[in-house]
Amino acid sequence: MPPEWLVKESITVLAPDGYANVIASSEPLDLEISVEKYATVQGELLRTEFPDFQELDFGQTTVFGDKTGFMRRYQWRAPDKGMVSQVQIYYAADGRGYTATATVPSGELSRYEQVLFEIIAGLQIIS
């Protein structure tokens, strides 16, 4: 890869019926960005981009195996689709930002919540 090019990666895990998914991704960051700053900036983006955004919970937790990161639970109104519930986890180190987002229509949350949390809890960063 040319030295000035950037690498972004993502993987998507889909429920068999298509109602729920988890997207895990990584992206290049400035080396100076802390995990707290990364999570804060991501939250600011959500607030400005998602209609009727409601943050339900945000705080520091263990993510991606054994990393100290942050988790945010929130809802928002998707155009023509109703309320959507999401959970995001964040980690940043060595010039990379890592995010995983679990998504489900809010009306289906009780059906998928446990398996979505199991998927997110099982994610690891292998270097």
pLDDT of res. 43: 97
pLDDT digits (tens, 9 = 90+) for 16-48: 999 999 999 999 999 999 999 999 999 999 999
- Contact criterion met (CB below 8 Å) for 84 and 106: yes
Q: What single-letter amino acid sits at 38?
A: Y
2, pLDDT greater than 90: no
1, pLDDT greater than 80: no
- Domains in the chain, ordered, with CATH? 9-16+28-122 (3.40.1000.10)
Walk across the sheet containing 96-105 and list its strands. 9-14, 21-28, 96-105, 82-93, 67-78, 54-63
pLDDT band for position 81 (50/70/90)? confident
126 or 85, higher pLDDT = 85
| Mean pLDDT to the nearest integer, 86-112 | 97
Q: Which residues contact 80 (CB under 8 A, 6 or more apart)?
A: none
| Mean pLDDT to the nearest integer, 99-125 | 96
pLDDT of res. 124: 96
pLDDT of res. 4: 86
